[in-house]
Amino acid sequence: MRIIRIFDTTLRDGEQSPGASMNVGEKLQLAAQLARLGVDIIEAGFAIASPGDFDAIRAIGAEVEGPVICSLARAKEEDIKRAWEAVRDAPRNRIHTFHSTSDIHLKYQFRIDRDEALRRSVQMTQLAKSLVDDVEFSPMDATRTDIGYLCEVIEAVIDAGASTVNIPDTVGYSIPHEFGDMIKAIRGRVKNIDRAVISVHCHNDLGLASSNSLSAVLNGAGQIECTVNGIGERAGNCSMEEVVMALRTRRDIFDADTNINTKEIIRSSRLVTKITGMSVQPNKAIVGANAFAHESGIHQDGLLKEKSTYEIIRPETIGLHRTKFVLGKHSGRHAFRTRLRELGYELSDDEINSAFERFKRLADQKKDIYDEDIEAVVSEELSRIPETYSLLDMHISSGFHEKPAAVVKLKAGGETVEKTEHGDGPVDAVFRAITSITGTRSRLLKYEVKAITGGTDALGEVVCSIEEDGRSVSGNGADTDIIIASAKAYINALNKLAARKRQ
């Protein structure tokens, strides 16, 4: 099985994302984590770009052990010498130099011909080789370069001392089969290609960076250049976690793996997010918040029976503790029962069925269901008693210039009764209507409202304490509508009072 080198450019190309700039201390912290992750090469920066970049590269080279420490350099003498000064103290170092080769770049950006580009590429590769043993060369915009000329440049820079030749899809233009064919053509047409590792550096402008990189591996590439979370210029770079886990998961296809300690993937991802402030989209492969979250009842049921039914990667593999079951309107009874057990509740089948129906109604009202919501539903279910009164419907009207009114419909003693009452507020009007229907003489001792969870759709819980003829009881009600929760709590208390009277 081949080992594919992981060349991490989070600190260089990743930092080029707008707003992702890092200071020296942050770069050191992230480089240390990349070493724990097990990347083979860290492109620590672009030495000539700024004094801060230079200082960061030098500090990383002096303090971070394990990976090769690399600096980027244009095919210019001053760039290469500055890169050498930055990496010279690293026990293992590399200079990565580059020059454009596409006719588009040569004509419009550099205003030189192919011969001049080739001459500069060879001379600067030779200069870099005189300073370090490990030299990488990139023909920028390779995927829009004439394949014959591209092979000529690659062969020349290998002869000049490059031990790695990187094929960049600089503008994210290529598609997988095309990119794979290019790598295959390079292997077949460059006579001395056996003296160098073929690397690939793919951008994500068409969303194909990871696919292109994997296609390159199938066609002989031995190094992938990538970033944590896929951050980088424009639409970003090839995502490190995606290609690493694709190789690890589909060894049957690639017959290749990496040296990455995958249990450090989540920690690395979160550190990049923390340092750069660039959040990962929830549905991002591998490291997104929903990557191992399941709400579908069919999926949850299968996972509870056998993990492999709906998970091709175990969450523990990348440093997560467990699969996340999101309880919502798509969840099934099996997942609901399992979550209740995790929360410490053992309910009978009838109680489960009744609580599940309440949970489903709540899930239709709320976007996010929290454990506290589930506990409120269960508490309400466990506190249920034979219903002398049950709420069928209610309607509230209230406003600045309108006296609050409530129309309440209850089932009481086998009959359906509807009453309209006014009050000082909507809750008072509801309570008056309920009292009118039930004919009770109870006195309200306490009325408490609290939000169980955050957000404007939070489930509200109401506690009502009432007293009649020396008997005191408390009722509970929960709902996203606090008026309905109040009515439920008051009726729950009245039902408890009626049960005590019967006893």
One-character DSSP codes across 106-164: IIIII---HHHHHHHHHHHHHHHHHH-S-EEEEEETGGGS-HHHHHHHHHHHHHTT-SE
Confidence (pLDDT) at 477 = 84
Distance CA 44, CA 89 (A): 13
Of the candidate ranges 198-212, 312-326, 350-364, 485-499, the one whose mean pLDDT is the lowest: 312-326
- pLDDT, tens only, 46-79: 999 999 999 999 999 999 999 999 999 999 999 9
Mean pLDDT of 483-493: 90
Confidence (pLDDT) at 253 = 96
Percent of the chain's residues with pLDDT above 70? 88
Say which residues have a Cβ less than 8 Å from residue 196's Cβ, sequence separation at least 6: 154, 158, 162, 163, 164, 165
pLDDT for residue 420 is more than 80:
yes
Mean pLDDT of 325-347: 70
Place of tokens 């080198």: 5
Domains of the chain: 2-276 (3.20.20.70), 293-382 (1.10.238), 389-502 (3.30.160.270)
Confidence of residue 416 (pLDDT cuts 50, 70, 90): very high
Confidence of residue 381 (pLDDT cuts 50, 70, 90): low
Structural contact between residues 93 and 41, judged by C-beta atoms closer than 8 angstroms? no
Of 69, 70, 131, 61, whose CA–CA distance to 96 is shortest? 70
Confidence (pLDDT) at 281 = 83
Tally of CB atoms within 10 A around 316:
13
Confidence (pLDDT) at 250 = 95
Confidence (pLDDT) at 453 = 64
Confidence (pLDDT) at 401 = 87
pLDDT for residue 295 is more than 60:
no
Confidence (pLDDT) at 478 = 83
Mean pLDDT of 265-292: 84
pLDDT for residue 376 is more than 80:
no
Of 209, 219, 154, whose CA–CA distance to 180 is shortest? 219
Confidence (pLDDT) at 22 = 87
Retrieve residue 62's tokens.
């002096």
Mean pLDDT of 380-386: 62
Confidence (pLDDT) at 499 = 74
Retrieve residue 323's tokens.
């699969």
Our CA angle for 178, 215, 75, nearest 5°, is: 75
Distance CA 336, CA 327 (A): 7
Retrieve residue 322's tokens.
């467990």
Confidence (pLDDT) at 120 = 97
Half-sphere CA count of 244, side-chain side, radius 13 A:
30
pLDDT for residue 361 is more than 80:
no
Q: Which of 159-163, 435-439, 490-494 has the highest mean pLDDT?
A: 159-163
Q: Which of 170-174, 328-332, 495-499 has the highest mean pLDDT?
A: 170-174
pLDDT for residue 386 is more than 90:
no
The more confident residue out of 276 and 44 is: 44
pLDDT for residue 497 is more than 90:
no
Q: What is the mean pLDDT of the chain?
A: 88
Confidence (pLDDT) at 421 = 95
Q: Which of 251-255, 267-271, 294-298, 313-317 has the highest mean pLDDT?
A: 251-255
Q: What is the pTM of this model?
A: 0.70
Confidence (pLDDT) at 368 = 61
pLDDT for residue 470 is more than 90:
no
Q: Which of 80-84, 434-438, 499-503 has the highest mean pLDDT?
A: 80-84
Task: State the distance between the two ends of the chain, measured CA to CA, in whole angstroms.
Answer: 77
Confidence (pLDDT) at 342 = 66
pLDDT for residue 307 is more than 70:
no
Confidence of residue 332 (pLDDT cuts 50, 70, 90): confident
| DSSP symbol at 315 | G
Mean pLDDT of 261-269: 93
The more confident residue out of 235 and 380 is: 235
